[in-house]
Structures are given as structure tokens and as C-alpha cells.
Chain A
Amino acid sequence: MATQMTFQSRGSGVKPPEKGSFPLDHDGECKAFMTKYMRCLRGNMKENTKCRQESMDYLNCRMEKNLMLKEDWKKLGYSDMVKDQDSTSTTSSNKAE
């Protein structure tokens, strides 16, 4: 409750993540995708909107390498990206579950 917020109390601010914790990528399997994402961010003035595709790639890599539970893209908030892909691409997307 924000009205009772003091400097010490962080009761409403800190929440556990919805899907829990990412398993650590000890072997750096998805490091390449991460670098691509970082490069995109730096090139686009750190705007997340322009780098959605790269972040999707990274999460896809994680899902394939079993470092993340496979989820529908819509549930991860990429419904706009999925719609674009369905309308533009003719070949079946390799981002299926």
C-alpha cells in the first residue's frame, strides 16, 4: 500500500517473479543472441521497441536449449510480433512451441 510506504518498508514493491527464476546459462549457449541484442540496443538508443525481434531470438534460444520453459509467445507479451510474423511470413515459423 503506497500510502504507508516508508523508506524501510518495501512491502508492495518487491514481488517474486511470475515464472520463477531463469536457470543459469553456464555454458554460454545463448551468449551470441545476447550479444546481438546488446548491439541492437546500443544501435537504437537503447530503445526496447526496436529490438523486440532480437529479444525474441534470445528467448527462443533459451527455450530450445531447455533453459526456459516453452511458452506461447502471446503469453510472453509478444502477441504483436506473432501477428506480424503470421501476416508477413509464408513459411511456417520455427518459433512454434
Chain B
Amino acid sequence: MSVLCTLASVSTSPVVLRTSLASSNFQLPVRLCAASVKYSVMQVARMSVLSFSQNCVSLQPMRMLWQWGPFKVQKCFAHNQLLHRTEGLPRATQGILRRVRGASWNNVLGHRLIIMDSKSKDTYHRRTGLIYVCAAGIFMLGMSYAGVPLYRMFCQATGLGGTISRGHDTSKIETMQAVPERSIKIRFNADVASSMRWNFKPQQTEVKVLPGETALAFYTAKNPTDKPIIGISTYNVVPFEAGQYFNKIQCFCFEEQRLNPHEQVDMPVFFYIDPEFAEDPKLQGVETITLSYTFFEAKEGFQVPLPGYMTQAQ
């Protein structure tokens, strides 16, 4: 059974509509005890449906009204309006409750008439305003989280702030020319974490390279123990500004490398220095670049966080 709610016209003075509640939908036996009121199963079901649809909370009946018979007073919230449902109350009581804010009645047809006065309107407006403010707050919070990937996409598209856009390097390699005036010495350094038992060293101490020229360098790692060890490495370029121009085409870093017991392998690094290195005023006097690799032991499921936020390009 659907309950139709008709709103009274909005005005400052409460509008009261009389209805007759003489023949209520419920047959309530007369009992003085308010604690237990017997209803038939159908009535209870119907009331529950009504209660559920209107989100009602039972109130303790007012003491002075007990003698007037069993009844039920519920405080109901429907569509931000405060309602009082009163069933089985004699008319006089209804008259008292009529002046209560938001009082309403069930009439014979099950229609609900709602009295709205200024106070419940204010509550309604206040609550609506509060919901809007909360929604705005949540929206701002969401935008602050969304800002990170959005900014990243923006930077990669426009190249703002020196962000290197992915994928432009392969075409560059084909066309770049070596700059013969600036010969740079690349020194190699190898480190191992203190708990890592590999022997790791570079095969050459230095290589002289021109910017724009691809070069090959080798490191050697040996596992002297009797157990296979998985290592993972990262690297570092000094001076820091030169690190921007140091591009590796292929190497052995950031991925797990497994060495069997007593095994020795050569690990190549294939790299080049961007020809724009020669045009950078900050790097005018730089003639030596040091490339330093460090190996760590990889634990189960350990992932070296990739620098920046680029994924492996492969």
C-alpha cells in the first residue's frame, strides 16, 4: 500500500487540515498498559511497512495520555520532514498533538498530510546545505587524488619542467651525431650492499666517449657462495646535472639477476650521452662523469621502486 504525501502550501503559519480518524485502519483492543499492545499479524505487517518506508522511530508515549487507550506515537523522518504518526488516538489528543510541530494523521484512505512550519523548513534547508558542503569537500578530496596522474599526463604531453617524455629517444638515437669537441671520460664504479656476497667490479676503469655516440661497458659479477643468489641493482650518475643526459639503452639494472653458485657473468651496459650535453651551460667544464652501480640482494617478492614513475620500456 503506497502512502501518498501531499505537502501543504509553504507559509509561515501552520496549515491544518482536518481529517476524520474515527474509523482507523487498525482495530486496537483497549488496554491500559502501553508496554504490550496486541495487533493482528496483518496490522503489524502493515505498520512495519509504513514504518520502514518512512523511517520511523517509536517514542515513549506521554504518560498523561496512557489512560486514553493504547496508541502508538512515532517520530518519522520522510523527505527531510519531521512527522509524528499517531494511530488510535482519540480526537482530543489529536487536537493537542496538532499543535506539535510536524504533526500528521493517517486518514481513512491512508493519505498522509504533512504540516510544515518554518522550523522544519529551516531544518530541511540546513540539512540540504550541509549535504552540499560535504559533497564539495569529498569532491575536493577526490580531485587532489586525481591531480597526480593528470599532472603527470600534462607534463609528458607538454614536456614541462624537463620531464622526459617516453619514446622519443629511439628516433633520436638514429639521427644523433657525435660531438667531437667534447670528449668525456666515463669512470665506472661498482658497489655491493654490505650483506650481498657477490664480487662485483667493472671491467674497465674508464672509457672516453663523445656525446651522441653509443658506447659499451662491462661489469663482472661472481657468486662465490654455494647458494644461488638473486641480485638487483640500481645506479647513480655524478655529477647530478649530467645524469639527465646519461641515457642507457640497455643494461642490467632494476631487474632481478640470478647467479648460480660459483658462477661468473659479464654484464654489459649500453649507453650514450645526449648530444645536447655539449650545449648545456651548466655542464661546460664537466669532463668526467662517474657511473656507479650498486647491487643488492633481492628478497622474495621485493621490487626495486623504479625512479620517477616510469615503467620499464621494453
**Chain A contacts to B: CB under 8 angstroms:** 1-2, 5, 10-22, 24-26, 28, 30-31, 34, 37-38, 41-42, 45-49, 52, 55, 58-59, 62, 68, 74-80
Residues of A within 8 A of B174 (CB): 74-75, 77, 79
Interchain Cβ contacts under 8 Å between A and B, 18 examples:
A10-B240, A12-B162, A12-B240, A12-B243, A15-B247, A16-B311, A17-B312, A24-B259, A24-B267, A28-B266, A34-B218, A34-B266, A46-B205, A48-B207, A48-B208, A49-B178, A58-B216, A76-B270
Nearest-CB residue, chain A, relative to B203: A38
Q: Considering the chains assembled together, what is the distance between the CA atoms of A37 and B161 in angstroms?
A: 39
Residues of B within 8 A of A30 (CB): 266
**A76 contacts B173, C-beta separation under 8 Å:** yes
Q: Which 9 A-B pairs have the closest CB atoms?
A: A13-B243, A77-B214, A20-B314, A14-B307, A21-B255, A17-B248, A55-B216, A19-B250, A48-B215
Asked whether B306 is an interface residue with its Cβ less than 8 Å from the other chain, the reply is yes
Q: Considering the chains assembled together, what is the distance between the CA atoms of A42 and B204 in angstroms?
A: 9
Q: Considering the chains assembled together, what is the distance between the CA atoms of A80 and B234 in angstroms?
A: 31
Contact with A2, one of B244, B268, B310, B312 (Cβ below 8 angstroms): B244
Residues of B within 8 A of A21 (CB): 250-255, 257
Contact with B268, one of A22, A41, A42 (Cβ below 8 angstroms): A22
Residues of A within 8 A of B214 (CB): 55, 76-78
Nearest-CB residue, chain A, relative to B310: A16
Residues of B within 8 A of A17 (CB): 248-251, 253-254, 312-313
Given contacts A11-B308, A16-B311, 7 further A-B contacts (CB under 8 A): A2-B244, A16-B253, A18-B170, A22-B268, A37-B216, A41-B204, A48-B209
Nearest-CB residue, chain B, relative to A2: B241
**Chain B contacts to A: CB under 8 angstroms:** 161-162, 164, 169-170, 173-176, 178, 183, 203-210, 213-216, 218, 234-237, 240-241, 243-244, 246-255, 257-260, 263, 265-268, 270, 272, 282, 306-308, 310-314
Contact with B173, one of A22, A45, A52, A77 (Cβ below 8 angstroms): A77
**A19 contacts B204, C-beta separation under 8 Å:** no
**B252 contacts A68, C-beta separation under 8 Å:** no
**B218 contacts A38, C-beta separation under 8 Å:** yes
**B252 contacts A24, C-beta separation under 8 Å:** yes
Residues of A within 8 A of B206 (CB): 46
Decide yes or no: A2 and B207 within 8 Å by CB, A16-B312, A20-B313, A77-B272 being known contacts: no
Contact with A18, one of B236, B249, B253, B257 (Cβ below 8 angstroms): B249
Residues of B within 8 A of A79 (CB): 174-175
**A12 contacts B244, C-beta separation under 8 Å:** yes
Q: Considering the chains assembled together, what is the distance between the CA atoms of A47 and B180 in angstroms?
A: 12
Of B175, B216, B257, which is in contact with the most chain A CB atoms at under 10 Å from its CB? B216
